[in-house]
């Protein structure tokens, strides 16, 4: 992470927190997608869902980048969005937590 | 149409047949879209719906081209697909009908 070395334990925690946040967000997108599809009345509503979904996929692909070099940034953003908590990150080194918390405040 | 002159009456018929086929096909896509969305269980199912919908939009944009120069071709394909009938085209000149029927057999 960000030129910080990661222990195996930290990698395990990072993977778990990352996956939980990703699955949570995918679940939210799924629920909204189904709702939008059910409410669509006109073809234009349907094409709007398509555009919205393509944008969500793009956002998620960009946001959830599990390269160790990117994880401090990823977790910082997720913390800022309230998608993860500081408790979930317990077990990561103080150096990483400090970076993550800093990024969350930006 | 295809270097064939169109009377106002023919243009009216062409517009009506074209719109009816387009709305019918859009309705079918809408129904399938809603069904696929309702059945989606995993995020991959949702992304598959997005890809399918983008392809349908692309196909429909290509197929329904209301330039008079293209209508003989468009109606020929729609007739071949069973999306319009020869009865609906009654009132178009024999020259156009003959081209349309020929294209429908290709």
A6 pLDDT band, cuts 50/70/90, is confident
State pLDDT tens for residues A33-69.
999 999 999 999 999 999 999 999 999 999 999 998 8
Whether residue A33 and residue B40 make contact (CB cut-off 8 A), yes or no, is yes
CA distance B19 to chain A (A): 13
Strand partners, A92: A90
Q: Which residues of B touch A53 (CB under 8 A)?
A: 46-47, 49-50
Q: Which residues of B touch A49 (CB under 8 A)?
A: 33, 37, 53
Task: Read off the tokens for A58.
Answer: 């793009």
Of A34, A38, A57, the CB nearest to B50: A57
The complex's ipTM? 0.87
The torsion angle over the Cα atoms of residues A24, A26, A29 and A34, rounded to 10 degrees, is -110
Residue A42: DSSP 8-state: S
What's the pLDDT at B84?
A: 98
Number of neighbours of residue B75 by Cβ within 10 angstroms: 28
- Regions of chain B with pLDDT less than 50: none
Is there a contact between A103 and A78 (Cβ–Cβ < 8 Å)?
no
A1 pLDDT band, cuts 50/70/90, is low
Q: What is the DSSP string of B43-106?
A: HHHHHHHHHHHHHHHHHHHHH----GGGHHHHHHHHHHTTSS-TGGGBTB-HHHHHHHHHHHT-
Of B38, B47, B50, the CB nearest to A34: B38
Q: Which residues of A touch B48 (CB under 8 A)?
A: none
A13 pLDDT band, cuts 50/70/90, is very high
A5 pLDDT band, cuts 50/70/90, is confident
């Amino acid at each position: 992470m960000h030129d910080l070395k990661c222990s195996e334990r930290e990698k395990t925690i990072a993977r778990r927190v990352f996956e939980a946040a990703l699955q949570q967000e995918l679940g939210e997108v799924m629920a909204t997608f189904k709702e939008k599809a059910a409410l669509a009345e006109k073809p234009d509503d349907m094409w709007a869902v398509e555009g919205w979904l393509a944008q969500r996929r793009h956002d998620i692909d960009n946001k959830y980048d599990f390269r160790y070099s990117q994880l401090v940034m990823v977790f910082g953003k997720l913390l800022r969005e309230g998608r993860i908590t500081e408790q979930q990150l317990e077990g990561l080194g103080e150096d990483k937590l400090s970076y993550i918390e800093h990024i969350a405040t930006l």
